[in-house]
A and B are shown apart, each in its own frame.
Chain A
């Protein structure tokens, strides 16, 4: 599903040039649950963003679903993204002005799903996330865990092939964090490919493979012993 070769990302400001990714080769197969770990600034979020098609690499190749996408325009990436990828962020990134229902509905609006089907699918996924009773609330009226559940609902409402999670438990207490992780595992079992960036070894071990990064490079890859 995902294959990169010699992926490079360089940030330039007027005086400094920072290499965030240095010749990164990763491959992720359909149905995998991969965790990316590493210290702050090692490039894991940069990698996630490039793999999630919200950023372009400075060099190297990136094959996503058999497309070479490293030189795609924002419009092309946007099209590929909205149909195939769901995002979960550490800070939830819900739109404050929209209700729970409307937040989750948004991806369906952008992929031009009809309103009746939208309602059904949003209700279905809210039910699944156990958020039905909060569907008309605004994000500010929810707890952190609830907000992240809404964010997860929004990420999966379009049935994406790939779910990208950037420290999904970073802003949550351990019990809410566990809930989110269990949900991800569940989604993985239903067939979604999941790529997650995390600081926590505990969370990382929910996945079936861990990629460790340091200074913009992949240092080790190991398979997690499944204990769930």
Chain B
């Protein structure tokens, strides 16, 4: 019996090659994507699991930091203090990631994002040393540990231990490689390629004692055995009181720490300055899209099967008359489905491997074929195939096996109009899903364009930014002069900070008794506001020729005006204010208010900001911003490099464009856009495959009708219209269904942005027209064929 089923199933596929190819390739595509999605989900869910007892690892976070809200970063002294004072904290490490720094070994020079870590890092996290020893590698300030791949990058095959890396340029640190560790796996929250001990940081910048300064530092600890996190948390209030009661009056309200489980960080964290890029929404979205794709391909299969009902019905009735019972017929049809899906599944595994590079591009992962070809992958492939086979097979199987033999034999199918209706319903569903994905793609794209446009000073202009060192900072006037000479350059300015490189947050207050407002600080040189294209709304800009401006003049942004409770921007101008705290405090006057400008992701609210000439001698420009005509990018790149090279041959200028930097901040959104885009294409493609199959079937079914109509005088155009319209009407209905759903979904998505577009009608028009045009393409080929056929042919077929 089984053999017979299999044989018939194979022959059915062979006989209906066209439909078989359509449904198998559709299924293979969607199962393949589904498998890739599964590997993505698997990787995301397993974040940080490589650590020993990862559930005992925690991060110190702020529920409220100085009234500024939630932060994932912590002031530097907190980690060591917790380690000393709380017995529940078994070991603690800070991980501070700062600016990218020029790193050099002989002629190899790269900008690296280095990390400062405590010696206990390897007690908290899993760090697998290939060379050197976890306990001693970071014991001396002059040491550096590097990843395996970086060891290759700098030293090739030579033994890196004992080699010296020059980190920074003038006044560089000379650090000796004391350990090489295996690269962090992809799915880890804390990762770096180059780490220096915190002792280096302290010898360079002085002891880290400020409890009210927030650098880009994260504090992690391992909870001691036989205790619970609640016990540790209960001691936090007393801990804060011990250290801050004499510094901060409102410490109870405005200095609230908490412990966040490491395993919650990647997907569930909503703290400011988050380092991990996970996004639960993206995950759900991917899961949903995978399901939709499966559904669309499943629909194709069901349609393909039901379309052949009349033909199969005759076979069913013969089998029934000869003695088949319902169970054996269900078995037979299920076998056909399982066979189809199994073939699709095999193809899907091949496709998944083939699509891997593309998928990496879309998802931002870097999966290897070896990551895929794991037991879990094949197990899930099998599960998906079985599931799809079962779901797609059960309807046709139940339906076909339920025929009364005589009715089927005589071609009387009361149920067939039902099948026809449900088939149309399924096509509508497919296209609705495709249109929703299309709309999503367009909305994401528009929002990203909005981001891009918002940060350009003028449409035709760009701002380029590059990092400089202390030596170049001292020579800033010369550098500025030289850059101004380059054709296409409009303005040049320097700043301790520029948009997208945020992290220099300082307290500001109107007088010693008024509340502190945490403010993003821009210590600038030259016409910074004008270079960046920031618009003044009250007062005036900074003027380097005025001594008073050089010594205590602030331009604040609109948000700062509100944070200080000024009734209006104009009211703020002329007021006195204090910048910084303790010994590092400077008094000055607010001379202007600038319209809010973006310096973080568009998801985040703009924070208070202050722009001033450097208030302290040690505060220097770390960036140079160049505003220029956007068609001059290439020439500018070269010019900047040459100028910097002549001023400091040891430095290497790496020019970034501000809009690109902003796009970097929106990696997740761009990724979602890419996901939507690629899957929209795929969904449409599979839907069209299905549509093509249905039109072919419909033309076949209606051969006689078409023949008779033509004999009676129907024109080719008329026949073409008749066949096409039926299906295009379905696409129209699908569109109407997709509009409200996609509007709801994408409005929801956009709400994640503080600064966002409104969804325009154009998006729907575009999505609708493209879906319609593609469907038209699929439909017209077969319709045309039927329309031009000789009527005698079609009648003779009867």
Chains A and B are bound partners: yes
Q: Taking beta carbons and an 8 Å cutoff, which residues of A are in contact with B?
A: 49, 52, 54-55, 74-75, 78, 81-83, 87, 93-98, 102, 105-107, 109-111, 154
The answer to whether B320 and A78 have CB atoms under 8 Å apart is: yes
A54/B405 in contact, CB under 8 A: yes
Contact of B406 with A54 in the complex, beta carbons under 8 Å? yes
Q: Are B318 and A93 in contact (CB under 8 A)?
A: yes
Q: Which of A54, A74, A75, A98 contacts B8 (CB 8 A)?
A: A98
Inter-subunit contact B321/A54 (CB<8 Å): yes
A154 touches which one: B322, B404, B406 (CB < 8 A)? B322
Interface residues of B in 115-153 (CB under 8 A from A): none
Q: Chain B contacts of A74 at CB under 8 A? A: 404
Q: How far is the CA of A106 from the CA of B324 in the complex (A)?
A: 9
B324 x A110 contact (CB < 8 A): yes
B366 CB-CB contact with A under 8 Å:
no
Residues of B within 8 A of A78 (CB): 320, 323-325
Contact flag A81-B8 (CB < 8 Å), given A54-B405, A95-B318 = no
Please report the C-alpha to C-alpha distance between residue A93 and residue B320 in the assembled complex, in whole angstroms: 12
Question: Are the CB atoms of A49 and B406 closer together than 8 Å?
Answer: yes
Report if B546 contacts A (CB, 8 A).
Answer: no
The answer, among B4, B12, B323, B404, for a CB contact under 8 Å with A111, is: B323
With A and B bound together, what is the CA distance between A111 and B1 in angstroms?
11
Contact with A55, one of B12, B328, B406 (Cβ below 8 angstroms): B406
User: Within the complex, what minimum Cβ distance (angstroms) separates B371 from chain A?
Assistant: 42
- Tally of contact residues, B, Cβ under 8 A: 23
B651 vs chain A, min Cβ distance (A): 77
In the complex the two chains form, is A82's CB within 8 Å of B322's CB?
A: yes
In the complex, chain B residues 1-51 whose Cβ is within 8 Å of any chain A Cβ: 1, 4, 7-8, 11-12, 15
Are A97 and B11 closer than 8 Å at their CB atoms?
yes
16 contacts between A and B (CB under 8 A): A52-B321, A83-B323, A87-B321, A94-B318, A95-B8, A97-B15, A97-B315, A98-B11, A102-B4, A105-B4, A109-B1, A110-B323, A110-B324, A110-B325, A111-B323, A154-B322
Interface residues as binary, B386-412 with A (CB distance below 8 Å gives 1, 0 otherwise): 000000000000000000111001000
B112 to chain A, nearest CB (A): 66
Q: Which of B11, B12, B322, B409 contacts A106 (CB 8 A)?
A: B322
Q: What chain A residues lie within 8 Å of B318 (beta carbons)?
A: 93-95
Residues of B within 8 A of A110 (CB): 319, 322-325, 328
Picked from B12, B15, B315, B322, the residue with its CB within 8 Å of the CB of A107 is B322
Within 8 A of A (CB), among B319-338: 319-326, 328
Residue numbers in A under 8 Å from B1 (CB-CB): 109
Distance of A98 Cα from B12 Cα, bound (Å): 10
Give the residue name and chain of the A residue nearest to B5 (CB): A109
* Complex interface: chain B residues within 8 A of A97 (CB): 8, 11-12, 15, 315
Within the assembled complex, what's the spacing in Å between the Cα atoms of A105 and B7?
Answer: 13
Which residues from chain B contact A54 at a C-beta distance below 8 Å? 320-321, 405-406
Which chain B residue lies CB-closest to A98? B8
- Beta-carbon contact of A95 and B319 below 8 Å: yes
Shortest A69–chain B CB gap in Å is 16
Given A93-B314, A95-B318, are A107 and B7 also a contact pair (CB < 8 Å)?
A: no
With a cutoff of 8 Å between Cβ atoms, the chain A residues found around residue B325 in the complex are 75, 78, 110
Smallest CB separation, B402 vs chain A (Å): 10
B323 touches A82 (CB 8 A): yes
The 9 closest A-B pairs by CB, nearest first: A82-B323, A110-B323, A97-B11, A107-B322, A93-B318, A55-B406, A54-B405, A95-B315, A97-B8
Residues of A within 8 A of B319 (CB): 95, 106, 110
Q: Is the CB of A81 within 8 A of B321?
A: yes
Give every chain A residue within 8 A of B324 (Cβ-Cβ): 78, 110
Q: Chain A residues near B8 (CB, 8 Å)?
A: 95, 97-98
Q: How far is the CA of A94 from the CA of B321 in the complex (A)?
A: 12
Chain A residues with Cβ below 8 Å from B4 are 102, 105-106, 109
B window 634-693: CB within 8 A of A: none
Which residues of chain A have C-beta atoms less than 8 A from B405's C-beta?
Answer: 54
